[in-house]
Structure 1
Amino acid sequence: MSVDDQDTLELGALAAHAQSLGIPMPRVRRRRLAAEAGDLSALQWGEGDPQLVLLHGAGLQSGTWNGTLLRLGRPAVAIDLPGHGQSDHLPVDGYRVASMGDMVSQAISEAGWMVDSLVGHSLGSFVAARAASELGGVKALVVLDATPHRVGSRDPTRMHAGTLEQLVSAMRERMPHRDPRSLERALLRDTRLRADGLREWLWDEGFMDAVPLRAIERDSLWRFFERAAERVFLLRAERGGVADHEAEEFVSHVPQASVQVVEGAGHNVHTDRPEWLAEWLRDVLSG
């Protein structure tokens, strides 16, 4: 399937999603953002400069924010991390947090955007922290269910390719609270059909080879968070992966940080509670 065909299907699914919510379809278009190491692909929402930039977690892509951004109704850019979605694949060394964060900050600067807020989920929060620390002047960094304690850990249950049924079953084992139909929609969006009839995730398999390199960066991640933004918000999922002592240590390292638990959410806060997150972000963006 060509990139244009993927975009057509993606925007068609997005329009159907908007219709199901009773929300007018906003202007959404695919953009290529230039950086020294390669191009990043992104979905730009709304008119004018974005008020916030959103970065997904490992193995996902920019469309994972669709439910939140449809409800938020603000200009925004959701970026495919390097090696994910339609962004360029890189050598393994390019998948270090610092390298990816530098690409994002360069892409934002090249686009001429003055971004006040960044939102990151899981691994994307570390990349957002690095990007924000490089950009300077960022007012708010929102961290969804992540602290540096577990960066560089590998999920042995993650399948890169399989039938749709196999991938849905594997995801349900990791997220038993998620509606199977919702998982199937997400998998259809985040995977592509191969010539052999199997579906594979839209991320570079080499991305996982960089897990040990990201583990080495753990100590430096604290410094990224410390200088990332005026305010840092850690949104812990009630059924997520951040333990109490990890949240406490996060605040001790990042004095401008506050912590809030998102009830009813698993690790993927933005897909489990998109209505709640959109309303919460609207309040933050309003100052």
Structure 2
Amino acid sequence: MMYLETFGRTGEPPLLLLHGGGVAGWMWEPMRAHLPPHARVLVPDLPGHGRSAAESYASHRATVDLLARTLEEEGRPATVVGFSLGAQLAVLLAAVRPDLVERTVVISAQALPLRMTGPTLALLGATAGLARNERFARLQARELFVPESHLADYLQTSSSLSRESLLASVEENLRFVPPAGWSTFPGTALILVGAAEKKLMRRSATALHAALPHSTLEVVDGCGHGIPLQRPEWLARRIEETRGR
């Protein structure tokens, strides 16, 4: 079972928030605090992560199928917001189930495959145990701009992520390319990338925009790979603008 936390008023247009790899639904709390209190918000812990740690991460497609079932139960199309790995899922969900996605906000999605995937995964497999090392995890938390108030959450999530889920999710992440259906997605799409992110991430944002020309691409000044945690109030406002509110 994939853990799902819901907020707000049933019947309101749903807002689905998809976290990145190695974190969990808690990463959206700083941003969610700036949303209207009645907003219908769905926050899953993706398979292998947080309170879904017992459910191994199998693949992006299997995860999207789980997310689609969640949205089907809502009974109306959603705004889907994803960060990093979650942003790839948002793109894939919009591509394969456009009937369930009215709008999408894609934050820091890698969309150009890494050439040296094999050696990268081999190194990751050999060092996977470091995720349980508190000193290493604290350094990783700093790279993701995790605030002190959520450091304990990050350390718990990091330590509970299995080697199998880590490797499966990272391999999917490294090999991801925009799916065919992305270019015909009829809804609204906002693509965000931090100005201080790696060149690969900025090029990926450009590739996603080129594949869907009616999308909007924005480079967010002063941000690295951590827009939801670096600029939570701004992001909440931008999402509400995208939803026409």
Q: Shorter-chain-normalised TM-score: which range?
A: 0.7 to 0.9
In structure 1, what is the Cα distance between the partners aligned to 2:227 and 2:74? 30
- The letter for the 2-side match of 1:127 is L
The RMSD of aligned alpha carbons is 2.8
**Pair 1:283-2:235 in alignment:** no
For the Cα contact (< 8 Å) 2:50–2:160, is it kept in 1?
yes
For the Cα contact (< 8 Å) 1:141–1:231, is it kept in 2?
yes
User: Cα deviations across residues 119-178 of structure 1 (Å, max 9, x unaligned)?
Assistant: 010111111222233432322111001131147766958731123x54223433x35xx4
For the Cα contact (< 8 Å) 1:119–1:143, is it kept in 2?
yes
**Equivalent residue for 1:7?**
none
Unpaired runs of at least 5, structure 1: 1-38, 193-198
SS in 2 for 1:143: strand
Q: Cα–Cα, structure 1 residues 62 and 113, in superposed 2: closer, same or farther, change >3 Å?
A: farther
In structure 2, what is the Cα distance between the partners aligned to 1:243 and 1:130? 17
- Please, which of 253, 257, 263 is the counterpart of residue 221 of structure 2? 263
- Please, which of 85, 91, 110 is the counterpart of residue 50 of structure 2? 85
For the Cα contact (< 8 Å) 2:14–2:74, is it kept in 1?
no
- The letter for the 1-side match of 2:183 is E
SS in 2 for 1:225: helix
Q: How many residues align?
A: 232
**Equivalent residue for 2:79?**
117
**Equivalent residue for 1:20?**
none
For the Cα contact (< 8 Å) 1:59–1:201, is it kept in 2?
no
- The letter for the 2-side match of 1:106 is R
TM-score, length basis structure 1: 0.70
1:250 Cα offset (Å): 2.2
For the Cα contact (< 8 Å) 1:141–1:229, is it kept in 2?
no
In structure 2, what is the Cα distance between the partners aligned to 1:243 and 1:216? 12
- Please, which of 112, 123, 126 is the counterpart of residue 149 of structure 1? 112
Rg (Cα) greater in structure: 1
In structure 2, what is the Cα distance between the partners aligned to 1:275 and 1:169? 25
For the Cα contact (< 8 Å) 1:82–1:90, is it kept in 2?
yes
**Equivalent residue for 1:126?**
88
- Please, which of 150, 154, 165 is the counterpart of residue 186 of structure 1? 150
